[in-house]
Chains A and B, each alone.
Chain A
Amino acid sequence: MSEFLRSYLTVAIFGLLAVALVTALLGISSLLRPTRPQAQKYINYESGVDPVGTGWGQSNIRYYIFALLFVMFDVEAVFIFPWATRLEAYGVFGLVEMAIFIFILLLGLLYAWRKGVLRWI
């Protein structure tokens, strides 16, 4: 196996190591802890009163819009990274190209701003 692939094998092994650590801690804990079931213990906490309705209530649409904005900007950040490593080679040409790209990016942010999407009401 090449050095490159081996590096990623190490990554996978470290992931398994984390799973093993969590499992081990849960295992040790299950040997030490008491278990005294009472029905009241398993009610969701709602500041001391009995919970009303279900815990999975509706939530605000604002989070959804911010998530959309994030996807847009994050995908564009992906394009900036390879350019950043090769800037010396591209010189002024690369600089102008990226300036235009970032300008369009800012225009999108400005549009969202003017539309009032960024305002948290």
Chain B
Amino acid sequence: MLTPLAIELAYWQETIIKGVIGLVAVLLPTGALVYLFLFKMMSFMQSRLGPMETGPYGQLQLLAEFGKFLQKEDIFPAKADRFVFAAAPFVVLVSTFMLVLVLPGGPDATFIDINTGIYFALAVSSVSVIGILMAGWGSASKYSLLGGLRAAGQLIAYELPLVLSVVGVVIMAESLNLSDIVHKQNEFGMWFILPQFIGFFLFLVSVQAELTQPPFDMPQAESELVTGFLTEYSGIRFLLFFIAEFATAAIFSAIGATLFLGGWTIPFVDANAEFMNYIGPLVLAAKMILIAFLIFWFRITYPRFREDQLQRLAWKFMIPLALANIVITAILKVAL
């Protein structure tokens, strides 16, 4: 199921291979996004060079940062709820790792092929809210608590447009399975971004908010809350939250590419061909970078929303628009 090789693998052998690929699939795009967009593109857009000293064009800066975080002292605040404080990064990263499983990289190159694919992804991604609330509560700090509550309020508000924006795609593909959705776009002869451009817009904005990236970074607003729910975290524990945030950015970009940009397929190339198992993941990665570029472009360009504006946008604009999108798509589906 995993590899198109002719060798029969036992379940445990297959799972070990999947585990290694999964680790690479989570950590490599994360590093690529942080270096490409957060270090370099952000610097260029702000008329500076960014890291230049470590390696050619600062490519080894990430490793240097990693080494730095490893050597930092581990500080638990005296008043903190120690168990909750320590468990929070685990919850956030488990949610991220389960999210990567649904991504199809080729006709046979899937981690798991479950019928509820996209629904599973949406369900698992919202588990990270619990981790963030735990971080905010466990720190026993006023900034952390406020940041955690703001994050929870924001994540649940934008969870709805995210879920509803996907329904348009599901109506067109008639399946929740991500592999089926990819094949359907190929049969259709058109990527779903064209008929579902409202859905794509809603998806992009909701993902931005789910990632608590600027302009939706009220939970971490530096000028009011220091760094929100991360205030009391230092060293490696801070790094874990950082990895989870950008890994989720990478995976959500890939899910967006799968839903709206045709996933691992290339137009006019046979989608069931054997070699697609090998170049499929690369195509998916290229499309992921494209969507991640949009996300980080918004992040760098726009100023931060106020809390009331943020909630108003979700409840009074995005959710009605998402419902309208569902109704229009359904009417067109039945009529045509």
Residue B157, interface by CB 8 Å: yes
Q: Which of A34, A54, A67 contacts B73 (CB 8 A)?
A: A34
Q: Is B282 an interface residue (CB 8 A)?
A: no
Residues of A within 8 A of B119 (CB): 81
Q: Which residue of A lies closest to B231 (CB)?
A: A45
B78 interface residue (CB < 8 Å to A): yes
Q: Does A70 contact B164, Cβ atoms closer than 8 Å? A: no
Cα–Cα distance between A106 and B327 once the two chains are bound (Å): 12
Tally chain B residues at the interface, Cβ within 8 Å. Answer: 78
Surface stretch bound by A, among B14-22, B208-216, B252-260, B288-296: B14-22
- Residue in A closest to B74 when the chains form the complex, CB atoms: A33
> Do residues B316 and A118 form an inter-chain contact, with CB atoms below 8 A?
yes
Known pairs A10-B101, A91-B334, A102-B323; A55 contacts B149 (CB<8 A)? no
Interface membership of chain A positions 79-118, coded 1 if the CB is closer than 8 angstroms to chain B and 0 otherwise: 0110011111001101100110010011001001100001
- A110–B281 alpha-carbon span in the complex (Å): 44
Alpha-carbon separation in the docked complex, A76 to B227 (Å): 34
B76-111 vs A, CB cutoff 8 Å, 1 = contact: the mask equals 111100000000011001101110110000000001
With both chains docked as a complex, state the minimum distance between the C-beta of B322 and any C-beta of chain A, in angstroms. Answer: 10
Q: How far is the CA of A84 from the CA of B69 in the complex (A)?
A: 46
Question: What residues of A have a CB within 8 angstroms of the CB of B226 in the complex?
Answer: 45, 47
Flag the segment in B53-61, B170-178, B187-195, B264-272 that touches A.
Answer: B170-178
Which residue from chain B places its CB closest to the CB of A47 in the assembled complex? B226
Question: In the complex, which of the residues A8, A19, A54, A81 contacts B176, with contact meaning CB atoms closer than 8 Å?
Answer: A81
Stretch at the interface among B33-41, B44-52, B138-146: B138-146
Q: Determine whether the beta carbon of B145 is less than 8 Å from that of A43.
A: no
CB-CB contacts of B303-323 with A at 8 A, as 1s and 0s? Answer: 000011001100110011001
Contact across chains for A80 and B70 when beta carbons are under 8 A apart: no
B142–A85 contact, CB under 8 A? no
- The one of A11, A84, A94 in contact with B167, judged by C-beta atoms closer than 8 angstroms, is A84
Please tell me the size bucket of the interface on A. Answer: 35 or more
Does B71 make an interface contact (CB < 8 A)?
yes
Bound Cα distance A119, B176 (Å) = 35
Provide the bound-state CA to CA distance between A21 and B11, in Å: 22
Q: How far is the CA of A113 from the CA of B161 in the complex (A)?
A: 17
Q: A36 to chain B: which residues have CB within 8 Å?
A: 73
Could you tell me the distance in whole angstroms from the C-beta of A110 to the nearest C-beta in chain B?
9
Of B98, B111, B149, the residue contacting A15 (CB under 8 A) is: B98
Cβ < 8 Å to B, chain A residues 10-57: 10-11, 13-15, 17-19, 21-22, 25-26, 28-30, 32-36, 41-47, 51, 54-57
Tell me whether A42 and B75 are in contact in the complex, defined as CB-CB below 8 angstroms, given that A7-B113, A81-B119, A109-B319 are known contacts.
yes
Contacts of A119 in B (CB 8 A): 308
Task: Report the separation of the CA atoms of residues A115 and B327 in the bound assembly, to the nearest whole angstrom.
Answer: 26
CA distance A51 to B146 in the complex (A): 15
Cα–Cα distance between A118 and B235 once the two chains are bound (Å): 39
The interface residues of chain A lying within 8 Å CB-to-CB of B62 are none
Closest chain-B Cβ to A53's Cβ sits at a distance in Å of 9
Contacting pair A66 B159 (CB below 8 A): no
Say yes or no for B6: interface residue by CB 8 A criterion.
no
Given contacts A18-B93, A66-B156, contact A109 B315 (CB under 8 A): yes
Indicate whether B279 reaches chain A with its CB closer than 8 angstroms: no
Contact A42 B76 (CB under 8 A): yes
* Known A19-B94, A51-B141, A84-B330; 17 more pairs at CB < 8 Å: A10-B18, A10-B111, A17-B19, A22-B240, A32-B71, A44-B140, A44-B141, A46-B142, A54-B140, A56-B140, A80-B167, A86-B174, A91-B334, A102-B323, A102-B327, A118-B311, A119-B308
